[in-house]
Structure 1
């Protein structure tokens, strides 16, 4: 038990401890709120902050993520690598306290900044050092433990590794050295398509070849360069006494390579594989041996050119004269030409030159087309090949498939656009011919459109002096004279509309007139019917495109209703639907008590009607989808329409709400249409753009709210301005010239008490803005603060705004927009 005096002391001591704890908490809180001289907005999850002229970059929690940028990319770049085969090259290489890391330009970490160095030049693997040890990083992760001074990958499991200045081989699967640290240097054919099972190794200053089992295959007595590298039994990169050697690992035969050329992958430079043949070099001259080992071309040629397996000819050259031999060694074209013979037209012909003139030989070694001077290969749309013949300024062609020669007589020759025909010109007139030179469309027209009629390759549009006609390829005649201003065809139709001097008519594809050129308009219903509107007063007509029968409608004014086979008829102040198939009016709810005064075209199987000066909607059967009880009704937007009631006709005062596609009121008609919208109606003010999922609610006091397409109130009508965030992050709102933020469900996350906000994008025509969390906001006479998705400070404030990018780091990150509040609360169209 304490004495009374001691009890008072104990109470005072406890109060002191409690106050000390409170001061400690306040101190901790104050220290957690870090202040910087300047800061930027967030870009891809990071913001730049500056103190004493030094930049750092903080993440979304306010923690410093990196303080150095090593390359010239920017987080503002919107494109990034998506190829999973290779490592990304559009990366940001950064550092923190001297350590390096890598992230994508979209702000996603690849390697955290905890490594000494990262070499990112290779798209296949990065060389990463940590604590003076090296590993290799690939899209699948690190290949090696950080255990070696240096390393190079030979294959999927074998690595050349270095420790204490010596090289050995490491097997990843076994996690052991298969060749100890023995050699001064190691080389390997990294680029060979077939992986080798040996290395080039240096010992006591000389190079040899060592197997993966550490067996010496070639003694250490050579010099070496990383040239002519191979992975088979031939060694072509070792030198001795300044002479290049050719060594066979199987036979152990060592030759001095006098050729010193660059051989193919799988053959010695002294014995070159040429398809099924072997090229042999003897005494500096080439010969050719077949598969049976028989010499078919003597060793007398300066070079031999094997084209491919499908070509029966072989190029040969001696003393700069070129010729051709066949696969038996027979000379089919003598050595008399000035360049290699080049195969053309799918190896059907061969081209060379002699005395400056081009020559053409066929695959049998026979010269053809000797009377012409120039040639050019043509590849048709279907891949077939022909040879254009050029003589002066005229063109013809040779078809190797048929042997057909079309002599040069055309001023132009084009083989693009059609697999069967060629476009030809005679002066300034054009037509078409086939691959045998037969006339398809005579070249007498200003323009020829070969594919103008859908699904009908027989008909061609022809043009002369800005007039159009139709030519039938099969009949070889003009079936519509070249007198029309316009010819129109339709994918689902068997007829075409022609227009002349502002009037239209209809013809079938045989050129037969179905309706004379006397109508003001021709409107197709579908594949069966077409509506013909008369030039002046008179009855509209219906053309049956199958029977070719014209049927005159019993009405003066009729239009395509764009719903099935229905006509929209206006007659004597009334509107109704007319069924073409049944040839009768469509009865329904809309006809009871008299037809409506007005009816619009159908859209999404609904048509607006006005009956007794009230608006509604009907379906194709004439039944009401929305009863005509509103003073106005909008079009449907994603299944929702705005409906209006007039409170004062003279003053033009309206209230509005919203209905769904069944006519049910999902938002009651209690909201006010502002006078500026009454004067200039715009549906966007109620629905936003085509992609908008919100409905705008407005009151005459200037306040706004938002409802969803289901009618649920998302934002009550409490704010002066509401701007959706363009990426769906929520809403920017203003109230009494102060900014606040709401989440996507309309819940308040930042009270409207801030005077300024930093946006990525200001409000556009669609009423949307752009911002990223954490977002920068500022109250008057206070620092900028960063607020997260919950509206909470991340513990960082800055005195001034700066740009995200520094001057020495790539391009600017875009233009951020500081938004002060409007001087007066103005409504924003679309919100």
Structure 2
């Protein structure tokens, strides 16, 4: 069950009762125990079911719908049903058994009879037994015999006259026949009850079952057979003989110790003159694809293609099949051939394998690229373009441009250096660099390369180093242009500069301070010669010298602070090249204590910033003008909905608060009051949670007699949702419910302020830590020394079978 949290750790002690209650979950169910009987009730107080069959293994209906489609098998009075997580009956609890076969087909047993049902509730008739064939056809038993029911036509397709059926349900394609047993013998019939293979065989259900023209699971007199369905012909093999059916349907047959091929109509395809005919890599999990077989004759191997015959004569010592390419070897020399027998690489290599080292398990992934080998060195051959890279690498690997992406590059390593190629065989980066990575994955033209610990930039189109390998760090410069930030480091002492990707130096790497400006520019200051700061526009490369040595960027604006002495600063617009107002600010990190200086922390995303000057806070915009002149003693940063709070502070007084208080006002994204009302708040440091609850504004008032401070809620136009008469108001379930507290009493209100449960409860059973779904109705509440379930209308829920008995509630976690 869901973990529960009680507002107060109370015990309902002293209650003589036989009823025990738990909290309702989000599925609309609550577990109760009445007179020793355990069951689940719904939100109407009715007994829904007694227990989950297996609560840890829900089913998805259908499987691709995610958690919202989960359902559980539940039991009521010994019968089973299927109930969704939303609390709806998918199947009523009236079945002896519920079994899942597929996402859209379930087997049910009722009153000793069996049927199948879909998620839409469509039922087959009930039979003595029912089994699944392919979703349309079901083998069913009636009067002790088996037949086949067609769910599409809703009739018996095959009469119930058989002893049993078997079907290759896991085959690659659905067959149009079934294995049938009659009078103890097995044969094959179609879904119109036509006999395809007579009833003359023994049969065992095993992994060799097929759904094509061949039966490989029959035997006669204990001897295994291959039976051809179209002709009825039998092919037997001794225990030490080996038979196989190729992907094109051809059967490998043996005559006098030699092997040939016959097709699905038992016509000879290859004469029995071969020492072996086998599918490529049958036991190596090599991701084999294609209608090919390897043939062997006189200890030499070749390739057979279905419908084409021998396409590579058996003249080779070794044959490997990679999609439609063949690696052939003779006398230890390997070559690569296409399916026409054309030599793409004549024999001359000590080995040739596919580029994908995991080819054996995952296939070629559509990549026709091969690794060649000469002694201990590897090369590359790109079959689709014909490009060959001679062996010269110790390792060759597929590479992706960023984590989690498909590989689009190939890296060859030699003595700690890597060369890079694309999938067409073009060399993007020659040997000579220890590391490489794309400068920007949006464009793979430029690579950041490293040699002896220093970094530069290589242009894969011009095939030149465009930025020398002199730097410790290189990263893209803000803005849409082709520029980079270059950084040198000496004992964590960084120096910054800017280079264009054509190799030109835009700003020498001598500046000790760098800030990004509004995602479009970079701000540089602190060069050794004491020169003024510089701004580089990343969109067009424009360079602007600022009228001060020290600068600092500000979040969410192009405005910057400039300073001549790193203590006193002015607000400056670097594009318009002007001081934006007459305020003098403390430069960040200067630790200035001059009360004549203004303090600016950051601009919010709405373009406004709190500025403290003369001990008071006001709001400015990005033009530098006052939106609200300095007035407030305290100010809260704008929240995610671009709202803020300004407050006036008042000293402590005996009649109000020994710690003092604040009078506060809500301000919107335009800097103007959301509502004109001024409220009283505590004198603690301002925090979002003290002034905003969900989408609502926290309003406060004080009791003139007691000095008590109470809270309520208003919307953004000032409409009071809850009057300020509560000690605590907390939002739950997306502001659908509010938990109310006054003293040690609790209640619940709705989103419109309607009181659902009055603030009269000593305890409410809810999950106070789960703000998204912590309150579920009916809700267990404790007042007048008694626990009861209360509905969302505020009524007491009458639970069937409990009567007037009081509930006993465990006040811990379970």
1:362 aligns with 2:341: no
Tell me, in whole angstroms, the C-alpha distance in 2 between the residues paired with 1:665 and 1:716: 20
> 1:514 offset after TM fit, Å?
2.1
Cα deviation, residue 136, structure 1: 0.6
Q: 1:236 to 1:88 in 2, by over 3 A?
A: farther
1:683 corresponds to 2:688: yes
Aligned to 2:577: 583
Distance 1:313 1:173 in 2: 39
Shift in Å, 1:111:
1.4
**What is the CA–CA distance in structure 1 between the aligned matches of 2:344 and 2:104, rounded to whole Å?**
52
- Kindly state the Cα deviation for residue 316 of structure 1 after the two structures are TM-superposed: 0.6
> Would the aligned equivalents of 2:73 and 2:83 in 1 still touch at CA under 8 Å?
yes
Note the 1:185-584 alignment, pairs <5 A. Answer: 185-188=164-167, 190=169, 201-207=180-186, 223-226=202-205, 240-242=220-222, 253-259=231-237, 275=248, 282=255, 285-288=258-261, 297-305=270-278, 315-318=294-297, 322-324=301-303, 327=308, 329=310, 332-334=313-315, 336-337=317-318, 341-344=319-322, 346-350=323-327, 359-363=334-338, 364=341, 373-379=350-356, 384-389=367-372, 394-401=377-384, 406=389, 408-417=391-400, 422-432=410-420, 441=429, 443-449=431-437, 451-453=438-440, 457-474=444-461, 476-490=463-477, 492-500=480-488, 501-525=493-517, 530-535=522-527, 539-543=532-536, 550-555=543-548, 558-560=551-553, 566-568=559-561, 578-584=572-578
Residue aligning to 1:21: none
Indicate the larger mover: 282-291 or 98-107.
Answer: 282-291
Separation of aligned partners in 2, 1:151 and 1:312: 38
Give the deviation of 1:452 after TM superposition: 1.6
Correspondence for 1:167 among 142, 146, 170: 146
Asked if the contact 2:636/2:687 (under 8 Å) is kept, the reply is: no
C-alpha deviation, 1:206, in angstroms: 4.6
8 Å CA contact retained: 1:525, 1:560? yes
Distance 1:493 1:728, change over 3 A: same
Match of 2:781 in 1: 777
Pairing 1:696–2:691 present:
no
Instruction: Verify the 8 A CA contact 1:672 1:698 in the aligned structure 2.
Output: yes
Partner in structure 2 of residue 16 of structure 1? none
Whole-angstrom distance in 2 between the partners of 1:200 and 1:529:
75
Contact between 2:447 and 2:459, CA under 8 Å: does it hold in 1? yes
- Specify the alignment match of 1:607 in structure 2: 608
Structure 2 unaligned residues grouped into runs of 5+: 1-14, 281-286, 358-363, 402-406, 585-595, 654-658, 703-707, 800-804
Closer, same or farther: CA 99–88 of 1 in aligned 2, 3 Å: farther
CA contact (8 A) 1:714 1:745 kept: yes
Aligned to 2:591: none
Instruction: Work out whether residues 619 and 628 of structure 2, in 8 Å CA contact, stay in contact via their aligned partners in 1.
Output: yes
Cα displacement (A) at 1:749:
1.5
Residues 668, 359 of structure 1: alpha-carbon distance in 2 compared, 3 angstrom cutoff: same
Structure 2 residue matching 1:61: 3-state secondary structure: coil
**8 A Cα contact 1:87 1:139, kept in partner:** no
Matches within 5 A, 1:659-678: 659-675=667-683, 677=684
Deviates more, 1:653-662 or 1:621-630: 621-630
Q: Tell me which residue corresponds to 1:645.
A: 648
Mapping of 1:97-176 within 5 angstroms? 97-104=77-84, 107-120=87-100, 122-146=102-126, 148-152=127-131, 159-170=138-149, 172=151, 176=155
CA distance in 1, matches of 2:68, 2:535: 63
* Bigger Cα displacement from structure 2, 51-60 vs 128-137: 51-60
Distance 1:242 1:130 in 2: 40
Q: Is the 8 A contact 2:526 2:549 kept in 1?
A: no
1:758 pairs with one of 756, 761, 765: 765
Larger RCO: Structure 1 or Structure 2 (Cα < 8 Å, ≥ 6 residues apart)? 2
Aligned length: 740
Go from structure 1 to structure 2 and tell me whether the alpha carbon gap of 1:273 and 1:434 turns closer, same or farther (over 3 Å shift): closer
> For 2:408 and 2:32, how far apart are their aligned partners in 1?
67
Change (3 A) 1:365 1:289: farther
Whole-angstrom distance in 2 between the partners of 1:194 and 1:448: 47
SS at match of 2:760: strand
Judged with a 3 Å threshold, the aligned counterparts in structure 2 of structure 1 residues 331 and 377 are, in CA distance, closer, same or farther, namely closer
C-alpha contact 2:227 2:235 (8 A) present in aligned 1: no
Q: Aligned partners of 2:419, 2:129: CA distance in 1, in Å?
A: 70
Distance 1:88 1:166, change over 3 A: farther
- Select the residue among 32, 42, 66 that pairs with 1:49: 32
Quote the RMSD (CA, aligned, Å). 4.9
- The equivalences for 1:704-715 within 5 A come to 704-715=711-722
CA gap of 1:495–1:182, structure 2 versus 1, over 3 A, is: closer
Aligned to 1:38: 20
3-state SS, counterpart of residue 691 of structure 2: helix
Quickly say closer, same or farther: Cα 1:581–1:396, change in 2 above 3 A.
Answer: same
Structure whose alpha-carbon radius of gyration is higher: 1
Q: TM-score, normalised by structure 2?
A: 0.76
Structure 2 contact 552–560 (Cα < 8 Å) conserved: yes
**How far is the alpha carbon of 1:283 from its aligned partner?**
5.3
Q: Say whether the 8 Å CA contact 1:730–1:745 is kept in structure 2.
A: no
For 2:748 and 2:518, the matched residues in 1 are separated by 52
For normalisation by structure 1, the TM-score amounts to 0.74
**Aligned counterpart, 2:593:** none
